[in-house]
Amino acid sequence: MSIMFWDLTLLGVFLVFVSSFLIIERKKIKREGLLFLYHSKWGINLIDKIGKKHERFLKFLSYLSVFVGYILMIAMVYLFAKILVVYLFQADLVRAIKIPPITPLIPYLPQIFKLDFLPPFYFSYWIIILAIVAITHEFFHGIFAKISKVRTKTTGFGFFPFFLPIFLAAFVNLDEKTMEKRSNFEQMAVLSAGTFANILTAILGVFLMWGFFSLAFSPAGVMYDDYAYGFVDSVHITSINGINLTNPTYETLVNLTIPGNLNKILVGDEIFLGIKGISTDGEIALYYDSPAIRNGLSGAITKINGENIRSLDDLSRVISSHEVGENITVLTYNGSGYSEIILTVGNSPDGKPWLGVNFLDTKASGILGTVSAFTTSYKNNHIYYSPNFLAAKFIYDLFWWFVLISFSVALVNMLPVGIFDGGRFFYLTILSVTKSKKIAENSFKIMTAIFLALLVLLMFFWAKSFI
């Protein structure tokens, strides 16, 4: 039976269990704001014990927590601005992403929106990750409150009424009156503690993912980025698909191509088979007439004439061992199955045997690019890795989602908006600088209003991109 069958079965069992619990404990569930909350005393003794035993160390960590809080707030504002630019000016990309900018994290999200560039997100992933992320987040709020002599009155979990009976939130109910009497820094340490916990769990998740990947996966093929191409000045292009040309523009070339087909382009006596694009200095990027593009080669190259290809060196060595014009059998893997194709080794512009595939050396840029590069630095982007046992990919994808969600929760929670910890954190920052409650309150209200208005704007442009 498939993973989906067992996952849906688990979802059904969970819904029955939680529904029964809500019915039995309905007198203890209260409506507070948008949530139905179940209050308990679970974990309070442990919170108090850890807070008391490690008070000195936790006070040291409180400085780090506040510092990380500021870094996350700055990073989130920057990312929000980048996202806003995408939604305002890149409608094609927004359509490709498909997901609305305000979407609850629900099981099967990639499957529902057919986001093939993301791994599947099963219910089993959702419940495990949500439990770890939410419990550690709230637990850290509690222990950092303890070192500031703020009592945890109750703990528990909550439900959005629209998603009953699915558990969506955990909480610690602190003594707010005592909390407000503490210094601004102590309050900020408590507020940032949850996101600090999420960053710690995310970093732990990265190392677990690294370790698991090295044990559970092995190199099994080579993945290329594109077919081989070169740059030429348009003045040298003499014909396309049999139509003679004189100094054509890029737009003319594009209009004369047949989408989805090979397009014969002559540059003097040299043949090219398609247009890739145009460079910043006006040169045209054309695909070489190579075996790969001519035969529609796709997927990871795993074997050539029965010999395993596990690295770029393997690919180069094996191709170099064959003569130009010699037929070879190439085995590829496209993510769902293997296919075999017979190619004739081509002659590269340098006069060497080749397939005509291209490998790009891309450099990480920006916050997201840097974080992504760090979290995947344990593997080569041009190598296909095969799982060593049946459940390897399922477990690896669980780690992947855990890291992504932990980082995401940490970032979003520090957005300077009223409903998040970052909102109160921002208020206390302004209060510390200005010493004026009025200025701090007005700044808090204005910042919240700005971000809520921008969220509405994001939703508008998301909807507009599909019109």
pLDDT value for 163: 58
**Cis peptide upstream of residue 110 (ω within 30 degrees of 0):** no
Residue 23 covered by a domain = no
Last residue of a domain, one of 358, 376, 402: 358
Does one domain contain both 161 and 253? no
pLDDT value for 406: 96
Residue 2 covered by a domain = no
Contact, 448 vs 456, CB < 8 A? Answer: no
Residue 11 covered by a domain = no
* pLDDT, tens only, 208-227: 999 999 999 999 999 999 99
pLDDT value for 410: 96
Residue 416 covered by a domain = yes
DSSP state of 37: E
Does one domain contain both 47 and 192? yes
Q: What percentage of the chain exceeds 70 in pLDDT?
A: 96
Residue-averaged pLDDT of the chain: 90
pLDDT value for 158: 81
Arithmetic mean of pLDDT, 377-398: 93
- What range defines the domain where residue 308 resides? 298-358
- Choose the weakest-confidence range: 82-86, 184-188, 217-221: 82-86
pLDDT value for 32: 78
Does one domain contain both 198 and 81? yes
pLDDT value at 462 more than 80: yes
Does one domain contain both 51 and 180? yes
Alpha helices (H) in 321-365, listed in sequence order? none
- Determine the 3-state secondary structure of 414 from DSSP: coil
- Determine the 3-state secondary structure of 328 from DSSP: strand
The conformational region for residue 306 under phi > 0 = left, psi -120 to 50 = alpha, else beta, is left
Higher pLDDT, 28 or 301: 301
Residue recorded with tokens 């080669």: 297
pLDDT value at 17 more than 90: no
The conformational region for residue 183 under phi > 0 = left, psi -120 to 50 = alpha, else beta, is beta
Contact, 332 vs 300, CB < 8 A? Answer: yes
pLDDT value for 167: 57
Does one domain contain both 176 and 323? no
pLDDT value for 166: 59
* pLDDT, tens only, 112-168: 888 888 899 999 999 999 999 999 999 999 999 999 999 999 998 887 766 555 556
Does one domain contain both 60 and 148? yes
Does one domain contain both 42 and 126? yes
Does one domain contain both 237 and 107? no
Sequence letter at residue 238: T
pLDDT value for 30: 83
Residue 459 covered by a domain = yes
Does one domain contain both 196 and 168? yes
Does one domain contain both 179 and 236? no
C-alpha gyration radius of the chain? 28
Residue 279 covered by a domain = yes
Helices and strands in the chain: count of H runs, count of E runs: 15, 20
Does one domain contain both 41 and 166? yes
Q: What percentage of the chain exceeds 90 in pLDDT?
A: 67
Residue 249 covered by a domain = yes
- Determine the 3-state secondary structure of 227 from DSSP: strand
Last residue of a domain, one of 270, 289, 308: 289
Tokens of residue 352, six digits: 């060497």
Arithmetic mean of pLDDT, 323-331: 95
pLDDT value for 275: 93
- Choose the weakest-confidence range: 184-193, 358-367, 380-389: 358-367
DSSP E strands in 127-278: the ranges are 152-159, 169-174, 217-222, 226-227, 229-232, 237-240, 243-244, 265-267, 270-278
Tokens of residue 387, six digits: 């799982």
What band does 1 get if pLDDT is binned at 50, 70 and 90? Answer: low
DSSP 309-366: --SHHHHHHHHHTS-TT-EEEEEEE-SS-EEEEEEE-EE-TTSSEE--EE-------H
pLDDT value for 465: 81
Residue 101 covered by a domain = yes
Contacts of residue 238, Cβ cutoff 8 Å, sequence gap at least 6? 244, 245, 266, 267, 268
What band does 300 get if pLDDT is binned at 50, 70 and 90? Answer: very high
Domains: count for the chain: 3
Contact, 264 vs 255, CB < 8 A? Answer: no
Does one domain contain both 336 and 452? no
CA angle 326, 328, 331 (to 5 degrees): 165
pLDDT value for 165: 55
pLDDT value for 322: 94
For 329, the enclosing helix (H) or strand (E) is strand 327-333
Last residue of a domain, one of 358, 374, 404: 358
Tokens of residue 62, six digits: 């409180």
